[in-house]
């Protein structure tokens, strides 16, 4: 799973208008995560507020954590710190709703499998359906009776007379 900062519209908040700034990725929308209870929810909200405050200190959009641009920044610069916080929050956000993310991935894979299975079935059956003409029951029965009609040389039925010794 690739983890990246998500740009989610802030729930009623305004977007960061600073050049290169995009703290909307860490808005309070969806702060509850999965069923963490009130104490867990409060911790998530506090963590996200703290992260937003650190990210907003950057005067320009921070480079990706670990990139050449990040390594070029001086130690302790707001952009360098913001890049680390963005990376950490990207991982943590996935963990906040890990169950939901996994359920969505499983459902997506299930649907893709069913779609491929249906396409393979259709590809295998369509040529058979086009090539074979299915007749009605009456037509099949008539053909069966025609095959069972008396043939030349067949015994007409009834008692059979024996003309010889049966010793």
154, pLDDT greater than 70: yes
Cβ distance 28 to 48 under 8 Å? yes
Average pLDDT taken over every residue of the chain: 77
State the pLDDT confidence band at 7, using cuts at 50, 70 and 90.
Answer: very low
Query: Average of pLDDT values for 132-149?
Result: 85
Residue with tokens 């200190």: 57
* Residue of 40 and 114 predicted with greater confidence: 114
pLDDT in tens, 64-89: 999 999 999 999 999 999 999 999 99
pLDDT in tens, 27-66: 433 444 444 566 778 888 899 999 999 999 999 999 999 9
Residue 36 class from Cβ within 10 Å (0-12 exposed, 13-18 middle, 19+ buried)?
middle
Distance CA 155, CA 151 (A): 9
Distance CA 95, CA 3 (A): 11
Domain chopping of the chain, boundaries = 23-96, 102-146
Query: Average of pLDDT values for 118-138?
Result: 84
What pLDDT score does 111 carry?
A: 97
């Amino acid at each position: 799973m690739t983890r990246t900062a998500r740009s989610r519209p802030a729930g009623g908040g305004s977007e960061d208008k600073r050049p290169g700034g995009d703290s909307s990725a860490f808005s309070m929308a969806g702060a509850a995560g999965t069923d963490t209870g009130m104490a867990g929810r409060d911790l998530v909200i506090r963590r996200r507020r703290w992260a937003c405050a650190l990210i907003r200190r950057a005067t320009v959009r921070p480079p990706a954590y670990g990139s050449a641009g990040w390594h070029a920044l001086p130690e302790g610069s707001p952009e360098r710190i913001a890049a680390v916080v963005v990376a950490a929050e990207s991982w943590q956000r996935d963990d906040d709703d890990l169950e939901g993310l996994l359920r969505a991935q499983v459902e997506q894979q299930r649907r893709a499998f069913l779609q491929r299975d249906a396409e393979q079935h259709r590809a295998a059956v369509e040529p058979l359906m086009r090539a074979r003409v299915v007749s009605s029951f009456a037509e099949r029965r008539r053909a069966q009776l025609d095959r069972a009609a008396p043939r030349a040389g067949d015994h007409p039925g009834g008692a059979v007379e024996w003309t010889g010794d049966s010793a």
